Amino acid sequence: MYVGDRPINDSEKAAFFQAQRKALRAMWRAGRDELDVSPASVIPDLGDWGLTVDFLIGAYEIAKDLDSFSCVDWYTAAGGSDFYCRQGIGTLFQHSARDVAVQTDVTAEKIRWGGQGVTVETSEGTITAKAVVVTVSTGVLASGDIEFDPPLPVKKQEAIQELPMGHYFHVGLQMSKNIFGTGADAYFNYKVDEEVDGSPKAFGALTNAGGTDLCYFDMGGDFAKHLLEAGNNAAYDFVVSELKRMFGNHIEKYIVESNSYDWLHDPYTYGSYAAAKPGGFWARDEMRENIADRIWFAGEAMSDDDWSTIAGAHKSGLIVAEEISEVL
């Protein structure tokens, strides 16, 4: 953790941890008491460390700022550890699903469920089946890019609106030198002093992924959205200017390569992952209910305790597969 251009000192560290504890305690109490309200409405004034804690709990973790997700939703998340796959998560998926017939580059355009079974019109033709599992993001569901005929029941449509996508993305930098002085897979954060329209203006970083000097810098919440909308390398410029402020102008020469991805404007995601709005916790249960024993929804947003994660998406799919095999 840095403050300005130096590591945090002991008294600052104590103040930071105290502020973080205060915030987490307030959210934890609200969640335990099933208060479906925003963290912003229950967290007391955290003074000097307020924006830093906001960033770490909200934008960096949930991909949303503290006024736009629900304490009770947050409370139900199991939490866990991150693990890294040197070959990339896609490689892991391809390996684990190697016995499953998967056809990529096929877009589902319309799902008809008015008669017997289900008919899915795709870019490569029509598929008929007894049932369908829809695993697209709530961003895609909300966009209307997949037409349902007849339309989804109103309650389901309302539930989709209560689980909007958050915003989160990485700027990856391959460095030629470990400017952070950290070991492999070490997190780097800093005290946040600025905001843009209430959203902390900051990144959080993973440094030296696997000891390779590959680092990634994550932006979240409305500030991430703002950067993605600004386009033109706005995110890269922001990250590099912050690094220069903390480590000096010379650091730019250690950047070998950069990469970034815009999940907001990708029509197959429309955001990073979902979280319930304040007052919208009910929507998760609603989305887990199938429609007429024919349409099921699965994916991270439908997970009961691991939403926002790959583990949650995977488990949700397994649960739905079991349900369908029982029903059919």
Contacts with ligand FAD, residue ranges (CB under 6 A): 82, 107-108, 135-137, 140, 145-146, 168-170, 263, 268-269, 272-273, 299-300, 308-311, 313
DSSP of 259-324: EE--SSS-TTTSSS-B-PPTT-THHHHHHHS-BTTTEEE-SGGG-SS-TTSHHHHHHHHHHHHHHH
Instruction: Tell me the residue number closest to ligand FAD, measured at CB.
Output: 299
Backbone angles phi, psi at 150, to 5 degrees: -65, 165
C-beta closer to ligand FAD: residue 168 or 223: 168
Cα pseudo-dihedral 273, 277, 282, 285, rounded to 10: 0
C-beta closer to ligand FAD: residue 71 or 171: 171
C-beta separation of 51 from 45 below 8 A: no
C-beta closer to ligand FAD: residue 16 or 263: 263
Buried b / exposed e across 240-278, counting CB within 10 Å, b at 16+?
bebbeebeeeebeebbeebebeebbeeeebbbbbbbbbb
C-beta closer to ligand FAD: residue 14 or 78: 78
> CB of residue 78 vs ligand FAD: minimum separation in angstroms?
12
C-beta separation of 231 from 223 below 8 A: no
> CB of residue 166 vs ligand FAD: minimum separation in angstroms?
9
C-beta closer to ligand FAD: residue 38 or 260: 260
> CB of residue 16 vs ligand FAD: minimum separation in angstroms?
23
> CB of residue 60 vs ligand FAD: minimum separation in angstroms?
11
Chain-centroid distance of CA 100 in Å reads 26
> CB of residue 307 vs ligand FAD: minimum separation in angstroms?
8
> CB of residue 50 vs ligand FAD: minimum separation in angstroms?
25
C-beta closer to ligand FAD: residue 31 or 172: 172
